[in-house]
Amino acid sequence: MLHIKKLARPFMLLLAFMNVGFMIWVFFYPFKTAAFVGLSALNGNAETELRAMYGGLIGGLGIINLLGALSPRRTENAVWATAWAFLGVGIVRSCGCLFFNADVWQIIFAISEMIAAATCFIMLKSLSVVSVPELK
């Protein structure tokens, strides 16, 4: 049986390829991403913002994922950061789906993000070497 601990680094590598690949795609084609979700860039500032927030932020997470995949001593931190990033995006997207008129893709993205966050939190239970102090 495959241990969850052994899946953490391959999972981080998969996410690294996806996230860094997305960053590169958005850098060259920011309007395709924007059009997919119904946004439009009205000027150079908006185009730069699309590249930075869609591509740069996701690409930064991809680099964290890559470092976690390549360095066993960084794996736990990468899984931790990824868990919270996906949870945050998943919660906000889920709220948007509940309160606004979201299409099926937004629902699929929200579910995927929540599953990715849950996967990371489950992996953290197996990876934890250092105990986290409890707040009293």
On whether residue 18 sits in a domain, the answer given is yes
Higher pLDDT pick, 36 / 91: 91
On whether residue 50 sits in a domain, the answer given is yes
On whether residue 55 sits in a domain, the answer given is yes
On whether residue 111 sits in a domain, the answer given is yes
Domain extent, residue 56, equals 4-127
DSSP state of 132: P
Q: Is the pLDDT of residue 30 over 90?
A: no
Amino acid 135: pLDDT: 61
On whether residue 56 sits in a domain, the answer given is yes
Amino acid 1: pLDDT: 41
Give the whole-number percent of the chain exceeding pLDDT 70: 90
On whether residue 52 sits in a domain, the answer given is yes
- The structural domain count of the chain equals 1
Q: Is the pTM of this model over 0.75?
A: yes
Amino acid 2: pLDDT: 53
In the three-class reduction of DSSP (H, G, I as helix; E, B as strand; rest coil), residue 105 is classed as helix
On whether residue 133 sits in a domain, the answer given is no
Q: Are 106 and 93 in contact (CB under 8 A)?
A: yes
Give dist(CA 56, CA 62) in Å, integer. 9
Q: How long a stretch of residues is the chain?
A: 136
Amino acid 101: pLDDT: 85
Average pLDDT over residues 16-40: 88
On whether residue 132 sits in a domain, the answer given is no
In the three-class reduction of DSSP (H, G, I as helix; E, B as strand; rest coil), residue 103 is classed as coil
Q: Is the pLDDT of residue 41 over 50?
A: yes
Give dist(CA 83, CA 87) in Å, integer. 6
Q: Is the pLDDT of residue 60 over 50?
A: yes
Q: pLDDT tens, 62-83?
A: 999 999 999 999 999 999 999 9
Closest CA to 96 of 113, 84, 81: 113
